[in-house]
Every structure is written in C-alpha cells, then in structure tokens.
Amino acid sequence: MNEVKDFYDNKISKIDFFSNCGDAINATFNVNVTQVRNWVDVEKKVNSTWDNVRLQIRNQLTSTLHENWREGYRQWNNITMEAKLLLKDGVLKNISTFIQENKLNNCIYESVEWDLLTAMMEYAYSTYVKPGFHTELLEIYNSGHIPCGWKGKWPQGSLLIF
C-alpha cells in the first residue's frame, strides 16, 4: 500500500483551493463537466443526491478490496484515521476559515473533506485498484475549482463544478 502522507504532502497540501471559482474552466478533465454560476448554486447542488453518487463510488472501492484483497482492506480504518488527521491538521483548517469568512454552508466543508479523504484512500490502495473518480475530483480542486454535484443519472451525465 502507498503512504497517504506522501500523497498529502506532494499533492493535496499544494492545492490553492477555490482560487478559480467563478472563472471560466480552462482545464480539461477525464469527465464531462458543467459549470455552475455561483456559491449559492454550489450550496444547492451539494446535497444528498451528490452524496449518494460519491458514496456509491467509494463503496465500489471498498467492495472490490473486500472481495479481492481482504488482508490489505483490513488496514482501511488505520489508513482513514491517518488521512483524517493529516487533513484536519492541514488544509482543512484553511478551508474551514474560507467557509466561515464567506458565510458559506458547512455542507461545502463536509463535501470537500469527503472528496479529499476518499482521494487519499484511492491513492493508498492504488497498488490494488486503479485510482478513479475521487482522484479526478482532486484534479478539479487542483485547477482552483470545486466539484459540487452530478447532472444526470450516474454514470451518464456531467460533473457540476464551480
């Protein structure tokens, strides 16, 4: 398994979160994207439907690990705790401050936390399962935007970003 600290240090800690929110999307991604207009739209789209899409995707990872690499999967909780601590003591502090200063709904913080944590888990288990959706979400964050929902029925449709 890969060390989540390395991934955090080399990838996540270097992201300039939200720096291009509201600007045109000048990057290409491995998923269709649709841009939303403003933070109000983000708050509306970060909802249970979006949560369910991301949960379904993460469940695919855990199911595959459980079925095929049970010994490695047994480390899930330990890796999760390490990843959560790295995030909490690192970038999530600045994200929390941004959310508060801009009077945004805390659901945005929770959504970002979920995405970052799951991207770290995809990285940790990438020797077993090819990283996927949440690693792609990390590229959206890295571009200065925020993924905030899904338009259409998964997996058809497009990722909503601001």
The domain of 69 spans 4-8+33-161
Split into its structural domains, the chain has a count of 1
Supply the pLDDT for residue 1. 80
Quick check: is 129 in a domain?
yes
> DSSP readout, 56-103?
HHHHHHHHHHHHH-HHHHTTHHHHHHHHHHHHHHTHHHHHHHHHHHTT
Quick check: is 132 in a domain?
yes
The tens digit of pLDDT for each residue in 137-148 reads 999 999 999 999
The tens digit of pLDDT for each residue in 42-90 reads 999 999 999 999 999 999 999 999 999 999 999 999 999 999 999 999 9
Quick check: is 26 in a domain?
no
Quick check: is 148 in a domain?
yes
pTM of the model: 0.96
The tens digit of pLDDT for each residue in 28-37 reads 999 999 999 9
